[in-house]
Amino acid sequence: MPKENSRAATVAGLVLAAAGLSHYVAPQIYEGVTKAAFPDNTRLHVYVDGGIETAVGLGLAARKTRKFAVLGLLGYLLYLGGNVVRQR
């Protein structure tokens, strides 16, 4: 992987991890979006989503775990998308 792509992946991972941590600092920001996928126990799911985003982001930031983290990110997106579709 070229150095520029590696640096971009590291920065993207750190940004995602920071966004995940922000779920704990200001969960009310995410409740409106999360409610579409999880109308029950929304605040709990805000925290769960924050944990997943933090873990996946840190995985993307580290070169050794990046491929595994990409799989985790795809799974996370399917998990969220599936719940949004199921709630409609």
In the chain, what's the furthest Cα-to-Cα distance? Answer: 44
What does the pLDDT read at residue 88?
82
The pTM of the full predicted model, rounded to 2 decimals, is: 0.89
Which parts of the chain sit beneath pLDDT 50?
1
Q: Which of 47, 52, 9, 16 is nearest to 31 (CA)?
A: 47
What does the pLDDT read at residue 2?
65
User: What tens digit of pLDDT does each residue of 10-26 get?
Assistant: 999 999 999 999 999 99
Domain limits for position 74: 3-87
What does the pLDDT read at residue 5?
79
> Considering its fold, how many domains does the chain have in total?
1
How many residues does this entry show for the chain?
88
